[in-house]
Amino acid sequence: MRQQYRRDAPLVLLFLAPSLAGFLLFFIIPFGAVVYYSFIDNPVSGKIVGFDNYAALQASGSFRKAFVNSLLFAGVSVPLLFAISLGLSLLLKGKLPFRQSLRTMFLLPLVVPVASVILVWQTLFHWHGAINHYLMEWGLDPVDWMNTRWAFAVMLVVFVWKNAGYNLIIFLAGLSNIPAEQYESASIDGAGAFRQFLHITWPGLSPTSFFVIVMSIVQSFKVFRETYLVAGAYPNDSIYTLQHFMNNMFKSLDYPKLTAAAVLLSIVIGAVVYVLFRMERRSREALQ
């Protein structure tokens, strides 16, 4: 086996070379440059200042607000997106009328650019938008959706709308891999729908659920594009995230804080994903 491995290794590396070169050129080297810039005072003089840039971040009120908001948004949006996606996949797996049409409808956010439909969200949640128009018709007071704490709920809706279709496809693929014989056997034994879900569907979806959670966490930290298009560069405090902070540091050419924040963000995401991998491995070993 070792001789065969040594003989095939050059050929394997040859096929992997384009991908490895692209990964090195567009990810590893730029990230290494970001880490380096986070320890210098500015890109011109390049004087090493150690962890002073990170200390300046800790003293920044806007950074602390953005950091807490990012964690809060991830903590709320990921479970919400997971539950909605899983529920939709279970509904669409069954004998639901217009099932194929509904699947296509939920997939549309994946193929339609966000920038092209963001005008619809602005029209809905603007002070003079459609929702406030109907509220006033029903005798209710209008709501300033994007300039109050309601902005957080609006961005949750946008986030779920954008990502539910992707998770739906993943869950449907996971459900299709569960043998139908298990459900038939459980039905013969008298197990109801809830017990079938608890003892067959949920354990069978464990690898799929883990992948969905990891991808949802990553996406929750990348919600800046939607927020920026809906609410602008300086949104309500409740939806001011780390990417808003980094975007504003870029505009002000404050590269030390920008790069330090980028490194901290990558560390947080990496740590969360690592913990999830450890939990998934332990749960898999426990089932074995």
The answer to whether residue 28 is domain-embedded is no
Tally: H helices and E strands in the chain:
15, 0
In this prediction, residue 78 carries a pLDDT of: 92
Please tell me the pTM assigned to this model.
Answer: 0.82
Instruction: Give, for 132, the enclosing helix (H) or strand (E).
Output: helix 130-137
In this prediction, residue 2 carries a pLDDT of: 63
CATH number at residue 271: 1.10.3720.10
The answer to whether residue 13 is domain-embedded is no
The answer to whether residue 50 is domain-embedded is no
What mean pLDDT is reported for the chain? 83
Q: Centre a 10 Å sphere on the Cβ of residue 143 and count the other Cβ atoms it contains.
A: 16
The answer to whether residue 87 is domain-embedded is yes
Return the higher-pLDDT residue of 285 and 265.
Answer: 265
Q: Centre a 10 Å sphere on the Cβ of residue 6 and count the other Cβ atoms it contains.
A: 9
By the 8 A CB rule, do 28 and 20 touch?
no
The answer to whether residue 14 is domain-embedded is no
pLDDT digits (tens, 9 = 90+) for 144-168: 887 888 888 888 888 888 888 889 8
Tokens encoding 227: 């927020």
3-state secondary structure of 182: helix
**Number of domains, the chain:** 1
Question: 70: which residues sit within 8 A by CB, 6+ positions away?
Answer: 220, 221, 241, 242, 243, 265
Q: How far apart are the first and last CA of the chain?
A: 28
Expressed as residue numbers, the domain containing 242 is 61-287
CA pair distance 80, 219, nearest whole angstrom: 13
